[in-house]
Amino acid sequence: MAKRLIPTLNRILVEKIVPPARTSAGVLLPEKASQLNSGKVVAVGPGARDREGNVIPVSVKEGDTVLLPEYGGSQVKLGDKEYVFCIYFIMKMVKNYWVLYCDVYLL
């Protein structure tokens, strides 16, 4: 269903990963314990352009796992899944996760 949202320029679409409410042993986890906002990149735009018109590619690809900021991007809900649609800025790799800094708004 997310294939209907196609990012342009340096925007990316991330499907939020819903943390489990229980451990494998059946212990209920409080909501505060599962506030790590992570997601899987579902779609990536081709990249932004510089002043000369050259494309600056986005360094993440579909299937990468990213850490999302608490506030930022546009929340989109399609069916029963939640997505974050955001503008790609600076990313860095931290322990096999891409840390994502998003813009707060979209055009």
Domain CATH for 30: 2.30.33.40
Distance (Å, whole) CA 29 – CA 84: 24
Q: What is the mean pLDDT of the chain?
A: 72
Q: Torsions phi, psi of 76, nearest 5?
A: -130, 135
pLDDT at position 92 over 60: no
pLDDT at position 106 over 50: no
With bands split at pLDDT 50, 70 and 90, how would you rate the model's confidence at 85? confident
Residue 87 lies in a domain: yes
Q: What's the confidence (pLDDT) of residue 29?
A: 67
Q: How many domains does the chain have?
A: 1
Domain, as residue range, for 86: 2-102
Q: Which residue has the tokens 């050259």?
A: 54
With bands split at pLDDT 50, 70 and 90, how would you rate the model's confidence at 2? low
Distance (Å, whole) CA 49 – CA 12: 15
Query: What mean pLDDT is predicted for residues 56-74?
Result: 79
Encode pLDDT of 7-52 as tens digits.
Answer: 778 888 888 877 766 666 767 766 665 556 778 888 888 887 888 8
Amino acid occupying residue 103? D
Residue 107 lies in a domain: no
Distance (Å, whole) CA 13 – CA 76: 9
Distance (Å, whole) CA 77 – CA 93: 27
Residue 90 lies in a domain: yes
Give 97's contacts (C-beta < 8 A, 6+ positions apart).
Answer: 38, 65, 66, 67
Lowest mean pLDDT across 8-12, 24-28, 73-77, 89-93:
89-93
